[in-house]
Amino acid sequence: MNGIEALKHYPDPSPAKDRLLLAMLPGMGIKIEDFATQGLVKLAHAARQAVDVITVKPDQTLYLDGGVAQVLEQTILTPAREAGYRRVWLLGISLGGMGALSCAAKYGDNIEGLILLAPFFGTQGTVAELREAGGFAAWRPEASAATPPEREIISWLQTRLAGAPGPGLWLGHATRDRFATGHRLLAETLPPSKTVEVDGGHDWAAWRMAFQALMARAPFG
């Protein structure tokens, strides 16, 4: 498939007709099968809703040129609408979080919610800009040295966090994650009920623990 390295479906075993689609996007060095072997697919299937899971890995070059959102729209969002899904969520780990945010920035009307696990949304320099500005609300894109994809994501987050309509945001992160500074800046702007910080690093143990804690809060209703 053009722009997609790998894709795999995990239908919910429930016979329920009212179903939700959750697309899981991996970070660098993560295989799409890892979502199943590491237990995230099972956790999603344990939700009160029937949750069909699709794991999808876009070509990593798309994150550099800003093309990841269009490929996800063509691969996930359009087919989901055609299949009759009325509720679509995206889950992104690390770089996959950037993909989920990029897609929401362009096609947010077609996405109900995002689950961001240790998301990468900017380089250390970009996160330092956010911190020095005092957070998302005071950051100014015109003065930023961020890449165009980073500026688009942060600008969208800025307006969404200020109350603009858009997908729901849920964040899971860890105390010793190498991107922890950015995660905490984002967590400060979200309701405490929609953020989880666990003990750990940038690894599956922390991501699984964070996702389990978020799922216990019934993000899908």
What stretches in the chain show pLDDT beneath 70?
A: 1
pLDDT tens profile 111-143? 999 999 999 999 999 999 999 999 999 999 888
pLDDT score at 1: 60
Residue 66: what pLDDT? 87
Identify the pLDDT of residue 65. Answer: 86
This prediction has a pTM of 0.96
Domains and CATH numbers, the chain: 4-215 (3.40.50.1820)
What is the tens place of the pLDDT at every residue in 34-62? Answer: 999 999 999 999 999 999 999 999 999 99
Kindly write down the DSSP assignment for every residue of the chain, as one continuous string. Answer: -TTEEEEEEE--S---SSEEEEEEE--TT--TTHHHHTTHHHHHHTSSSEEEEEEEEE-THHHHHT-HHHHHIIIIIHHHHHTT-S-EEEEEETHHHHHHHHHHHHHGGG--EEEEES---S-HHHHHHHHHHTSTTT--GGG----HHHHHHHHHHHHHHTT-S--EEEEEEETT-TTHHHHHHHHTTS-GGGEEEESS-SSHHHHHHHHHHHHTT-TT-
